[in-house]
Amino acid sequence: MATSQPSGHVSCETLPYAFHATDDTGKIVAVNDIWLEILGYERSEVVGEQCSSFLVGADNRVQSLTETVQSEGLVTDTELLFRHTDGHSVVGSVAGQYAAETERIHWQFTRQQTSNGETSLRNLKAAVDHAGHAIYITERDGTITYVNPEFEEITGFSAENVIGTTPEILQSGTYDEEFYSALWETILAGEPWHHEMINETKAGEKLILDQTISPIKAADGTIEGFVAVNKDVTARKAHENELAWTNTVLSSLLEGLPIGVLVEDANRDILTVNEAFCTLFGIEAPPEALIGSDCAEAAQQSKDLFVDPEQFISRNDELLEQAEPVVDEMLALKDGRTFMRSYIPYPLPSGQGNMWLYRDITRQKTYEHRIEQQRDDLETLNHVLRHDIRNDLQVIMSYIEILINAFDGDETKQDYLNRILVSCSHAIELTEISRSVADVMVQEANDHYPVSVDQTLEQEVNSVQAAYPESAITYERQTTQSFVCADEMLGSVFRNILKNALQHNDTDTPTVDVSVDETTEHVTVKIIDNGPGVPDSCKEEIFGKGEKGLDSVGSGIGLYLVHRLVSSYDGQVWVEDNTPRGARFCIELPKLVPDQS
Per-residue pLDDT tens digits for 313-366: 999 999 999 999 999 999 999 999 999 999 999 888 778 889 999 999 999 888
Range with the poorest average pLDDT among 63-77, 170-184, 518-532, 582-596:
63-77
Greater confidence (305 vs 76) lies with: 305
> What is the model's pLDDT at position 314?
95
CA geometry: angle 320, 322, 328, nearest 5 deg: 75
pLDDT top residue among 554 and 348: 348
Which CA distances in Å does 255 have to 173, 263, 298?
Answer: 39, 13, 20
Whole-number Cα distances in Å, 257 to 79, 86, 235, 252, 291? 59, 51, 32, 9, 19
Q: How far is CA 307 from the centre of its chain?
A: 29
The answer to which of 35-39, 200-204, 379-383, 527-531 has the lowest mean pLDDT is 379-383
Q: Which pLDDT band holds residue 31 (cuts at 50, 70, 90)?
A: very high
Q: Is the pLDDT higher at 265 or at 593?
A: 265
Buried b (16+ CB within 10 A) or exposed e, 285-324: eebeebeebebeebbeebeebbeeeeebbebbeebbeeee
In sequence order, the 6+-apart residues with CB closer than 8 A to the CB of 52 are 26, 58, 59, 62, 63
The sheet carrying 326-332 orders its strands as 270-273, 260-264, 351-360, 338-348, 326-332
pLDDT in tens, 222-248: 888 888 988 899 888 888 887 777 667
pLDDT band at 547 (very low <50, low <70, confident <90, very high): very low
Nearest to 432 by CA among 393, 468, 397, 470: 393
Q: What is the pTM of this model?
A: 0.41
Alpha-carbon gap, residue 1 to 22, rounded angstroms:
20
The mean pLDDT of 8-12, rounded to a whole number, is: 56
Q: Where are the strands (E) in 24-149, listed by range?
A: 28-31, 74-83, 89-99, 104-111, 134-139, 144-147
Contact status, residue 503 vs residue 473, Cβ threshold 8 Å = no
> What pLDDT does residue 92 have?
76
Is 220's pLDDT higher than 90?
Answer: no
- The kind and range of the H/E element at 406 are helix 390-406
Q: Is the peptide bond before 309 cis (omega within 30 degrees of 0)?
A: no
Q: What is the pLDDT of residue 551?
A: 39
Which range, 72-81, 121-130, 406-415, 528-537, is most confident?
528-537
Is residue 207 within 8 Å of residue 196, measured between CB atoms?
Answer: no
Rounded to an integer, the average pLDDT of 297-308 is 94
β-strand partners of 473: 512
The residues near 78 (Cβ < 8 Å, ≥ 6 apart) are: 65, 93, 94, 95, 96
Evaluate the CA torsion angle 414, 415, 420, 425 in order and state its sign. positive
Q: Which residues contact 394 (CB under 8 A, 6 or more apart)?
A: 428
Backbone phi, then psi, for 15, in 5-degree steps? -75, 145
Over pLDDT 70: what percentage of the chain? 87
Q: What is the DSSP letter of 578?
A: -
pLDDT in tens, 37-89: 888 899 999 999 988 888 876 666 777 788 888 888 888 777 777 888 877 77
Residue 392 to residue 270: CA distance in whole angstroms: 69
The CA–CA distances, whole Å, from 172 to 35, 275, 418 equal 40, 42, 106
For the cut 70, the answer to whether the pLDDT of residue 440 exceeds it is no
